[in-house]
Amino acid sequence: MSDENKKNQENTPIEDTQASQQDLNEQTEEQEVVEFEEVSSQPEPTSQYSWEWFQWYYESHKQIINYVGGGLLLVIGLIVGYKYYWLPTKEKEVADEIFYAQSLFERDSFNLALKGGPMVRYSQGTKPMMGFEKIYEEYSYTKGGKLAAFYAGVCYMHLGKYEDAIHYFEKYDLDDEMLQPLAYGNIGDAYMELNKPEEGIRFYLKAANDKINNFTTPLFLKKAALAMEQQKQYKSALELYERIKKEFVTSTEARDIDKYIARVSTYIELEGNK
């Protein structure tokens, strides 16, 4: 065989291979184009907020919507579990704990009611009882825990520890019709004992106006007016006494309110004559 024939035979497979490879690349490119066209997004429907538009929107944002939806379901599940399963269990626990502290409180054992310690029998066995301070510390997120803070404040008032009393009354925030104004009013009493009449007046007025009713409102209006008299704020005191007479006629404070009105009116008159 001649050298020329050998050369032709050697070159032919290489050329054929190169051609085949080129054809294969072209086919691959065509397939890639076709695949790209198949997954490309559909145009937005012309009619916005139609059923077709919502389908298009979901398909276009499927991954984000699924992630957000899953997250919302998880949050809702946690909230439901907390509110309807976990929290009621804790409320029952704190009700068991506060029972013994309230019993001591009613017997004027204020220090024991505050601090706890005596061994008592619970449904799960005998153990040291919790005082109001510990109950609030452990269950401050529950209604019973906040009620323990109110009781702790009253105990400290009886023990003459007024700053501690203020601390616990400020923790009570159940927005109860009677206890919330009483908490503010007790803070006012504590400030008066600490010789801070301006703060006392401020909390008396807050107590009077927080929940308007025929019991706490006239009670703390009168206390505020008396504190104002001590500060020689006679005109302000007169306004409060007159409010009691006008708005809370059937209240205990209204029974003898005329003598208070007469007294501050005299003081105002005397000041005017100076």
Residue 76, domain member (yes or no): yes
Residue with tokens 């009253």: 154
pLDDT surpassing 80 at residue 51: no
Q: What is the pTM of this model?
A: 0.70
d(CA 22, CA 26): 6
Residue 225, domain member (yes or no): yes
Task: Give 65-85 pLDDT, tens digit per residue.
Answer: 666 666 665 556 545 554 555
d(CA 59, CA 34): 20
How high does pLDDT run on average in the chain? 81
Does 185 share its domain with 231?
yes
d(CA 250, CA 256): 11
d(CA 205, CA 224): 6
d(CA 23, CA 267): 113
Residue 262, domain member (yes or no): yes
d(CA 155, CA 171): 14
Question: In which domain, by residue range, is 240 found?
Answer: 175-274
Does 94 share its domain with 149?
yes
Give the model's pLDDT for residue 25. Answer: 53
Does 181 share its domain with 242?
yes
Domain harbouring 270, CATH code: 1.25.40.10
DSSP SS3 for 152 = helix
Does 167 share its domain with 219?
no
Task: Give 9-18 pLDDT, tens digit per residue.
Answer: 444 454 454 5
The length of the chain is: 274
pLDDT surpassing 90 at residue 55: no
Does 108 share its domain with 152?
yes
Does residue 135 or residue 119 have the better pLDDT?
135
Does 102 share its domain with 163?
yes
Residue 30, domain member (yes or no): no
Residue 214, domain member (yes or no): yes
What is the pLDDT confidence band of residue 27, given thresholds at 50, 70 and 90? low
Give the model's pLDDT for residue 57. Answer: 59
- How many structural domains are present in the chain? 2
Does 72 share its domain with 158?
yes
Q: What is the DSSP letter of 82?
A: I
Does 147 share its domain with 115?
yes
Task: Give 173-185 pLDDT, tens digit per residue.
Answer: 998 999 999 999 9
The whole-number average pLDDT for the span 138-152 is 95
State the distance between the two ends of the chain, measured CA to CA, in whole angstroms.
146
> In DSSP terms, which residues pair with 116 in a beta bridge?
130
Q: Which of 174, 200, 219 is the last residue of a domain?
A: 174
Q: Which of 142, 174, 206 is the last residue of a domain?
A: 174
